[in-house]
Structure 1
Amino acid sequence: MPNNKNALIRYQALDKCFRNPGRRYFWEELLEACNQALSDFDPTSDGIQRRQLLDDIRFMESEQGWSIPLERNKDGKRVFYRYADLKFSINNQPINETEANQLKSALLVLSRFKGLPQFEWINEIIPRFEQSFNFRPESHDIIGFDHNEYLRGIDRIGDLFNAVLYRKVLSIKYKPFHVPEPFDYQLHPYYLKQYNSRWFLLGYNPEVSKITIIALDRIENVEETGAYYTNDKTLNFQEYFEDIVGVSRMEDAQPIKVELFVAKDQVPYILTKPLHGSQKRVFENEEGLVISLKVIPNFELEQLILSHGEKIQVLSPEIFREKIKIRLTEALFKYRL
């Protein structure tokens, strides 16, 4: 459908005129009907002129519009407009070509979930759309995602998705990498997050009265409970992740300014794929570029910086610079003969 509200109002007004068998609509009457509809919606509207009216009619006749069956009938030297089929209406038409292509693109994205438990409906709905809207299935993939289908815990996404959607409190048996035995706790699930090809579940942990983040690949068992679900309506996950890289966030931590030096040959990569949304250019010379980030330092930020090897150097703050230096020193020590 058209995105512009005024355009949609005009198309609806024209559609009504074209379907009216009891009156002949010349361009002057069509223009008056459009401007009246615009004025009814917005009294401050200036209306449109004849040129815009003719452009609207051409759009409605096009494949990008509704391919309306419009007749131009002569009455002396004048022409009036009417549908060849008076039962036709843009409101009972299937989606147009542009909308079909947009929907097809969306289905391509949805298809990445095919085969996952609890998402079997996608396997059923895609062929129906292909048949209903005459989509031609592609003979080969034309888009790929960074998706590890062998990742442990991925089979739980459907159940956890439903738990978040329907606000079900969960009893989870969880085993982090650094503990010998799994332990049980209750979680009120709020959000599923993917980072670095891994999936994480965020929720309220009543035992510690704070948000807890767990990796799906470390979950050993999940069961729904009948406990009352605590919903935090003040929590905005876009803001929650805004100041960090990845998913780890220390409670009550505040973002700080981190300055990094980027080697000259690495600069194009850092500029086209920023390390963080807060990235800013500070200074540039023949040797490279100094950038700044406003972030809460965490393990994921360390890993991201270290992944660039010698191409990125931490300049400040000193405590964070020293932490990276220690990790690099320990790594170098392991390569000594």
Structure 2
Amino acid sequence: MSSNKNALIRYKTLDKCLKNKYKKYTLDDLIDECSEALFEFEGKESFVSKRTVQLDLQNMRSEKFGYEAPIEVYERKYYRYSDPDYSIHNISVTESDLKAMTDAVQILKQFKDFSMFKEMNGVIQKLEDSIQATQQKSIIHLDKNERLKGLEYIDVLYQAILNKQVLRILYQSFTAREAQNMTVHPQLLKEYNNRWFLICLHKGKLYNLALDRMQEIDVDENSTYIDYNLDADRYFGEVIGATVSETQRPRNVDFFVSKKHAPYVKTKPFHHSQQILNEDKNGTIFRICVQLNFELERVILGMGEFLTVLKPLKLRERMEKTLKLAVRNYDN
């Protein structure tokens, strides 16, 4: 059981004791009550220390969690609320708090059909009931595609990463003639452009496997899991998208964007390294420092005639060749 859940059980138990008008609770009594409550939920002996309960009481008294509970010690021995009607469950919610929670529920409902969040449906319904959220049309729409192939594997992969399990995956890339079995150590799930990828260790190297190319997944109980201790921010820090090369160094990519469309690139940078090199009446020259990969090319091509790659020369020539081939499609 998580420490956060333990704390919530203790707060709930302390609240029940402190508002009881017919029984006097000493600190030792409160410790025993909390220990019994945890035993009831966990099903095993769970002793709560004196210091833990003292800190819980201190937290309930403070503004830390918004309780500001009126806890008093009377006869230098017994604990109770000075206000007999007080409870941590009766904290008043302001109109702005209610609006914020309603908005949060609307966002959570965007995920209601997504496999990874199915178990949240009951929680979302409870939130709606508890804050008496009015039925309103969604005003925030997140881009998602429930029909995307491979989404059914997200739960399995997530649990494998969480529980550090080795997997056997039957995988067929777009270029392979037939599927192959791969024994992998899953490290991270990555979403980019509405597609999901598994970053995993295979034969000592990191691989990027698209979920829509997976055919079967089984847990390998006989292999020992290797934790690569992957830092996602650092791993993807020098790329656009999900394709990372362990051998390629990032390059300065300079590109010109016409005046009309430069504001779009300014307000939504291609990469966190983006900077402006020059700006005049015709447009803006930007620079990003990234690895040259497929996703970078897709972003550049997405700007069409409004963007021109200046350097590196290798990327400029590749974009020129790609666009010429595209024009031929229309010539025919």
Give yes or no for TM over 0.5. Answer: yes
Distance 1:188 1:106, change over 3 A: farther
Distance 1:332 1:102, change over 3 A: same
Aligned-pair CA distance for 1:232: 1.7
| Contact kept? 1:118, 1:159, Cα under 8 Å | no
State the AA in 1 paired with 2:224: Y
Question: Secondary structure of 2:115's partner?
Answer: coil
Runs of 4+ residues deviating >6 angstroms: 65-69
1:186: which partner in 2?
Answer: 183
Aligned-pair CA distance for 1:96: 3.3
- Residue among 93, 111, 114 paired with 2:112: 114
Distance 1:267 1:90, change over 3 A: farther
Alignment of 1:191-202 (within 5 A): 191-202=188-199
1:145: which partner in 2?
Answer: 142
Question: Secondary structure of 1:148's partner?
Answer: coil
1:218: which partner in 2?
Answer: 213
- Counterparts of 1:156 and 1:169, CA distance in 2: 15
State the AA in 1 paired with 2:249: Q
2:174: which partner in 1?
Answer: 177
- Counterparts of 1:246 and 1:177, CA distance in 2: 18
State the AA in 1 paired with 2:321: I
State the AA in 2 paired with 1:115: D
- Counterparts of 1:86 and 1:255, CA distance in 2: 63
Alignment of 1:43-122 (within 5 A): 86-88=83-85, 91=88, 93-94=90-91, 96-97=93-94, 101-117=99-115, 119-122=117-120
Alignment of 1:1-337 (within 5 A): 86-88=83-85, 91=88, 93-94=90-91, 96-97=93-94, 101-117=99-115, 119-131=117-129, 133-205=130-202, 207=203, 209-226=204-221, 227-233=223-229, 235-337=230-332
- Counterparts of 2:143 and 2:234, CA distance in 1: 24
- Counterparts of 2:283 and 2:234, CA distance in 1: 32
- Counterparts of 1:169 and 1:106, CA distance in 2: 36
Aligned-pair CA distance for 1:67: 10
Question: Secondary structure of 2:261's partner?
Answer: helix
| Contact kept? 2:255, 2:307, Cα under 8 Å | yes
Q: Deviations over 1:302-332 (max 9, x none)?
A: 0100111110000011111111111112222
Question: Secondary structure of 1:244's partner?
Answer: coil
1:14: which partner in 2?
Answer: none
Distance 1:212 1:140, change over 3 A: same
TM-score (norm 2): 0.71
Deviates more, 1:270-279 or 1:300-309: 270-279
Distance 1:313 1:295, change over 3 A: same
| Contact kept? 2:101, 2:131, Cα under 8 Å | no
State the AA in 2 paired with 1:280: Q
How many aligned positions are there? 259
State the AA in 2 paired with 1:232: Y
| Contact kept? 1:119, 1:158, Cα under 8 Å | no
State the AA in 2 paired with 1:229: Y
Quote the RMSD (CA, aligned, Å). 2.8
State the AA in 2 paired with 1:203: C
Stretches of structure 2 that go unaligned for 5 or more consecutive residues are: 1-18, 20-62, 71-80
Distance 1:92 1:149, change over 3 A: closer
